[in-house]
Structure 1
Amino acid sequence: MEQQQNGLKPFFSLILSTKIPKFAITIGLIASVITTVVGLAIPLLTRELVDGFSLASFSFSFIFVIAAVFILQAVIDGVSTYLLAAAGQQIVAQLREKMWSKLIRLPVSYFDKQQSGESVSRVVNDTGIVKDLISQHFPQFISGLISIIGAVIILFIMDWKMTLIMLLAVPFTLVIMIPLGKTMAKVSRGLQDETATFSGNIQQTLGEIRLMKSSNAETYEEVKGFSGIKKLLGFGLKEAKIFALIGPFMYFVVMAVIVMIIGYGGIRVANGTMSTGSLVAFLLYLFQIVFPITSFAMFFTQLQKAKGATERIIHILDIPLENGQQGKELDISNLPLKVENIAFAYDESDSSVLKNITFEANPGEMIAFAGPSGGGKTTMFGLLERYYEPTEGKILIGETNIHDLSLSSWRSQIGYVSQESAMMAGTIRANLCYGLEQADSITDKQLWEVCKMAYADQFVQSFPNGLDTEVGERGVKLSGGQRQRIAIARAFLRNPKILMMDEATASLDSQSEGIVQQALSRLMEGRTTFVIAHRLSTIVDADQIIFIENGEVTGKGTHQELIRDHALYREFAEQQLT
């Protein structure tokens, strides 16, 4: 029993961490208790009606009392149901807010290891399980418990012998129901996990629908999807088997008890030791005991489900946030950036991806990273953007460690233009203003101005809806060059102090590349710029080129210096520039 309590402690702690609507729960539970107590009076009233029924003694007032009791019970039950459901909805809304607020602030490293669909399932499905327990099953359990205790006490007062006969079924029922409940809890937990995995796979496939189509992977994804569906079916069938055992078994027990009660009660009525009304009342109380007992199995199953869901929710809520949610605010204009002896590994057990990286970027300089694929260039960008923290060394802006700055202060002063040119579903306007605190105050004039600076104004004007044109999921309604120019316009709007570019023209056709390159050149003016170079032609004018191989810097200098002193860079240059 102690283990059970310890196991449920996190669940109660999680619920208590929310602002529980105490008034609604209190009134709802009181109303539920009143409904149950009123329900306990109905069989007694029925007994009086049956025993005293005759045309001569027929009383409209007594019928009115019974009808009033039924109506009162229905009204109070409705109020109780609504208040408890509303309380459950408010609690789960707070849990979802906490989880969503936490998820979007977790470090990138969490999402490197976790499928986004699984996280979505935790926010939607697992919290829904907690809601059902609070708003439906818990009130039913409380009212059912009161109903059983009240009915048994009244039955003992009415006729203790018949009550003992009825209670003979309890141990027999528990012996069967407890193992079934435990099995049901295991099945339900497996179903939750499989649902999360299935959601993750479905979301990933639909999110990369073009890759799937272009790869002719429909059959592969179909088989993979069917496999997940079959696993879900397996768990569903196991649940169905348990319900198939519980339903008929409870029906058998109930019918057996009813037959015994009617048989024994009929003999008592015939002997004159029991009235017909008392037998009817006894049967009605029996139903008030049986129905809650059948719902108890569902309550304990749901409790186990909620316990499992709580563990997953708490796991997410306990993950440390990104370092630097709090920190200094610092204007980094005209400050040099120094990287000192940086090393980094994605996991403690992994070997270092970067080792002993050191360089300095002065204000307004263009620093390019070159080298073979997989050398660590993109990882270096991840460290500069603080997606990851270095395992060794430090990055300074001026004399301040960037680790000591608040993330919002640091990232608000960095502009990033990637090959992908990530866009959110929505309008061009929404994408330009995405993430800006005062987005509502940005005028159309400002937006058209940055579009013009990015050479994006002409194609945006050609759309019937202009800035309010929908770009589609991931910007699929725009061409690659158009997406890049929107991304550059977005960077212009932020007026970043440091610019980071992952070879933003690498995947464009020659015409788009020329336009985008002009826009980038305009954006780079007066800004410290870091560039990942896939083509050396874009970095020949860089102030400093850092050549990275296998996570280590093997060369630093201008294009001419590396041509002279670095064999592999010279080989790259000969292949690409001649």
Structure 2
Amino acid sequence: MKTSRSSSWKQIVTLIRYTDFPKWIFIFAVLLSVVQTLAGLVVPWFTKDFVDQLTGQAVSREVIYFLIGAFMLQAVSVGFSHYALAYVGQRIVASLRIKMWTKVLALPISYFDQNRSGEPVSRITNDTNILMNLITQHLVSFFTNIISIVGAVLILFMLDWRMTLIIVTVTPLTLLIIQPLGRQMYRISKKTQKELASFTSDLNEVVSEIRLVKASSAEPKETEAGTARIESLFRFGRKEAIVQAILAPFMTVMLMAVLVIIIGYGGYRVASGALSAGDLVAFILYMFQIIIPFSQFATFFTHLQKVMGASERLMEMMELDEEPKEARSPLSHRADQPILFEQVSFSYDSGQDHPSVETGEKPKAEATLQSLQLTFPPNRVTAIVGPSGSGKTTLFALLERFYTPDEGVIRYGPHSIHDLPLAQWRGLIGYVSQESPLMAGTIAENIAYGLQEEMEREAIERAATMAYAHDFIQKLPQGYDTEVGERGMKLSGGQRQRIAIARAILRDPQVLLLDEATSSLDSTSEQEVQKALQTLMKDRTTLVIAHRLSTVVDADQIIVLEYGRMTGAGTHQELYDSHALYRELADKQFKASSDSALLAQSVNRTSP
């Protein structure tokens, strides 16, 4: 997508408006910068008088006092304006990062399905930092440089208009060179930031899955992939260096040529008596007040191109659709509401919310769930079984409103769940998944994770006790204050699972979703946790995904899914008698369990 310069400026301004912009501090910084610039313009004028008085061997004290005062005013203005601008830049970026972080957390799951995690990370860190550098280092100095140049040129015309014309003539030629190089820098910067975001994604993914990398001996592969990314960044950096290498010498040569001409011609004018020595010194000083700011324009426009690319990416993210927050129906807190799926169809590939950032395209849809007509009665246990890929976990994802059905509606009592307040709806749900995800922090923090009110330690310990996690937690060096490590890697799978169950117990949910909640437990722990789950499931609408049918034979209702369709519903005995696939699964699993029991008995008999 091609973005015009004017629209890029609008995006930068719009981004700044998104933030808590400290306007008065910024205005104060600008005024100080103007004072600094004006003081700088005064110095050469008094220097002219000072030099002329030196040649006449009669130095006025007033001139010295004015020079000292101008220097002090300039120094104080520089110090305060630098701090004020740094504060403004840091405040803007902090506010923008908060907005971006809040935005990322509000994006639907479909965004993260189609974009790598490094994309938003790069936007929040790298792109916002580029914007901050523009504000703190370049933006105000750009305008004060204009004041400095205009003021210096006007004074130079007063001193000697002939020499001033030499300087003014060079300006259009320099701008003709800077403009195309600036456009080239914009394209390079945009590609660099995109490549940097991809590199960040790769780093996050590899580091987070470092155990898989090492266990698979994939270090050479990842080294090669990382090297390729780094080399790509190097090539973009080299292209940027080429542009700078063309721009910097050109500016230096042009400015040195002007300086030589001015000094030579000025010396001639002094010798002829048309100028005084003080006039020539002042002229040279004023010329530097044009040359130095003018040379900084190249840096400003180069950085501006980077900011335009960064602001474009930030605005793209800010304009993404968030999860719906508005509620059209009040949420009833009654726990006896049935959950109904009415002709619900859904596909992950429909790209319903966000196209891929990489391709910008929405892939073709392939139905995962097809015309599901289900009823989950309140205060009952419903088990969902079926082969892998039949849509069991997807059904849970729809219930938690991670996705919106392509067709049909999901109801909680009389209301569509998508008309209910999102946070309150999810607050009714307790979810225990196969992965048992934990956040870096203590065990106590993980058990209470997501709860708005601060939980007392007694409540946390009571939930852990019900999940049969209290005993192993007490044996840890720091007890409930033990750090679990990134993604809970300091704990075993069974320990993580019991903490996840304790988290669900503490939430006291009305709707309980168990996705193979005991899959990571040994047989002893599983029996204990099953007892805890039986207590937890009492008087709650419970949905259980089960691969082991032995754990759900006593469920009030069992639903069989195949290829996204419901092919059977009933009790264990009813399905065993009437459903071929269910009977096949049951026979295989119960036979395997029987064989395992016989094998264990055989081993016990033959053991010495």
Distance 1:284 1:326, change over 3 A: farther
| Paired residue type of 2:84 | L
Q: Summarize deviations over 1:116-160 as a string: whole Å, max 9, x none.
A: 111011011111111121222111100110011111111111101
Out of 562, 566, 571, which is 1:558 matched to?
Answer: 571
Distance 1:26 1:324, change over 3 A: closer
| Distance in structure 2 (CA, Å) of the matches to 1:571 and 1:279 | 102
Q: Summarize deviations over 1:426-457 as a string: whole Å, max 9, x none.
A: 00111111111112xx2222121111111111
| Distance in structure 1 (CA, Å) of the matches to 2:181 and 2:411 | 61
2:424 partner SS: helix
Out of 558, 566, 580, which is 1:567 matched to?
Answer: 580
Deviation, structure 1 residue 286: 1.1
1:414 matched to 2:429:
yes
Q: Summarize deviations over 1:500-556 as a string: whole Å, max 9, x none.
A: 011122233333333333332332222211111111111111111111111111111
1:541 matched to 2:542:
no
| Distance in structure 1 (CA, Å) of the matches to 2:334 and 2:409 | 17
**Contact in 2 for aligned 1:383/1:389 (Cα 8 Å):** yes
1:424 matched to 2:439:
yes
**Contact in 1 for aligned 2:123/2:313 (Cα 8 Å):** yes
| Paired residue type of 1:466 | G
| Distance in structure 2 (CA, Å) of the matches to 1:172 and 1:139 | 25
Deviation, structure 1 residue 87: 1.4
When normalised by structure 2's length, the TM-score is 0.92
| Distance in structure 2 (CA, Å) of the matches to 1:343 and 1:316 | 28
Q: Summarize deviations over 1:260-289 as a string: whole Å, max 9, x none.
A: 011111111111111111111111111111
Name stretches of at least 5 consecutive residues in structure 1 with no aligned partner: none
1:529 partner SS: strand
Alignment correspondent of 2:603: none
Alignment correspondent of 1:232: 233
Is the deviation greater in 506-515 or in 485-494? 506-515
Distance 1:172 1:264, change over 3 A: same
The list of structure 1 runs, each at least 4 consecutive aligned residues, that deviate by more than 6 angstroms after superposition, is none
Give % identity: 50
Out of 367, 380, 393, which is 2:382 matched to?
Answer: 367
**Contact in 1 for aligned 2:369/2:391 (Cα 8 Å):** yes
1:53 partner SS: helix
Deviation, structure 1 residue 475: 0.8
Alignment correspondent of 1:447: 460
| Distance in structure 2 (CA, Å) of the matches to 1:305 and 1:505 | 51
| Distance in structure 2 (CA, Å) of the matches to 1:284 and 1:555 | 90
| Distance in structure 1 (CA, Å) of the matches to 2:453 and 2:575 | 45
Alignment correspondent of 1:522: 535
1:252-271 alignment, distance < 5 Å: 252-271=253-272
| Paired residue type of 1:198 | F
Deviation, structure 1 residue 59: 4.1
| Paired residue type of 1:453 | M
Deviation, structure 1 residue 3: 4.3
Is the deviation greater in 443-452 or in 516-525? 516-525
**Contact in 2 for aligned 1:481/1:513 (Cα 8 Å):** no
Out of 475, 484, 498, which is 1:471 matched to?
Answer: 484
Alignment correspondent of 1:495: 508
| Paired residue type of 1:416 | Y
Out of 356, 365, 381, which is 2:371 matched to?
Answer: 356
Alignment correspondent of 1:243: 244
| Distance in structure 1 (CA, Å) of the matches to 2:119 and 2:16 | 22
Deviation, structure 1 residue 326: 3.8
| Paired residue type of 1:402 | I
Alignment correspondent of 1:169: 170
Alignment correspondent of 1:286: 287
| Distance in structure 1 (CA, Å) of the matches to 2:408 and 2:156 | 77
| Distance in structure 2 (CA, Å) of the matches to 1:394 and 1:455 | 38
Alignment correspondent of 1:337: 339
Alignment correspondent of 1:30: 31
| Distance in structure 2 (CA, Å) of the matches to 1:395 and 1:289 | 69
**Contact in 1 for aligned 2:493/2:521 (Cα 8 Å):** yes
Alignment correspondent of 2:524: 511
| Distance in structure 2 (CA, Å) of the matches to 1:312 and 1:82 | 29
C-alpha root-mean-square deviation of aligned residues, in Å?
1.6
Distance 1:325 1:512, change over 3 A: farther
Distance 1:324 1:555, change over 3 A: farther
| Distance in structure 2 (CA, Å) of the matches to 1:407 and 1:299 | 45
Is the deviation greater in 100-109 or in 292-301? 292-301
| Distance in structure 1 (CA, Å) of the matches to 2:485 and 2:284 | 64
**Contact in 1 for aligned 2:8/2:311 (Cα 8 Å):** no
**Contact in 2 for aligned 1:324/1:403 (Cα 8 Å):** no
2:160 partner SS: helix
**Contact in 2 for aligned 1:324/1:404 (Cα 8 Å):** no
2:106 partner SS: coil
Alignment correspondent of 1:460: 473
| Distance in structure 1 (CA, Å) of the matches to 2:252 and 2:57 | 40
| Distance in structure 1 (CA, Å) of the matches to 2:99 and 2:574 | 54
**Contact in 2 for aligned 1:18/1:94 (Cα 8 Å):** yes
Q: Summarize deviations over 1:91-127 as a string: whole Å, max 9, x none.
A: 2222111111111111111111111111011011111
Is the deviation greater in 350-359 or in 50-59? 50-59
**Contact in 2 for aligned 1:187/1:238 (Cα 8 Å):** yes
1:477 partner SS: coil
| Distance in structure 2 (CA, Å) of the matches to 1:423 and 1:216 | 26
Q: Summarize deviations over 1:377-415 as a string: whole Å, max 9, x none.
A: 111110111111111111111212111111111111110
1:434 partner SS: coil
**Contact in 2 for aligned 1:485/1:519 (Cα 8 Å):** no
| Distance in structure 2 (CA, Å) of the matches to 1:394 and 1:3 | 43
**Contact in 1 for aligned 2:335/2:379 (Cα 8 Å):** no
Is the deviation greater in 322-331 or in 393-402? 322-331
2:389 partner SS: coil
| Paired residue type of 1:435 | G
Alignment correspondent of 1:145: 146
Name stretches of at least 5 consecutive residues in structure 2 with no aligned partner: 351-363, 592-608
Out of 447, 450, 461, which is 1:435 matched to?
Answer: 450
Is the deviation greater in 314-323 or in 150-159? 314-323
When normalised by structure 1's length, the TM-score is 0.96
Is the deviation greater in 427-436 or in 238-247? 238-247
Alignment correspondent of 2:206: 205
Alignment correspondent of 1:96: 97
| Distance in structure 1 (CA, Å) of the matches to 2:163 and 2:327 | 70
**Contact in 1 for aligned 2:497/2:521 (Cα 8 Å):** no
Alignment correspondent of 1:303: 304
Q: Summarize deviations over 1:206-232 as a string: whole Å, max 9, x none.
A: 111112121111111111111111111
| Paired residue type of 2:337 | L
Q: Summarize deviations over 1:450-487 as a string: whole Å, max 9, x none.
A: 11111111111112311111111111111111111111
| Distance in structure 2 (CA, Å) of the matches to 1:454 and 1:509 | 14
| Paired residue type of 1:139 | V
Distance 1:100 1:241, change over 3 A: same
Is the deviation greater in 523-532 or in 104-113? 523-532
**Contact in 1 for aligned 2:440/2:488 (Cα 8 Å):** yes
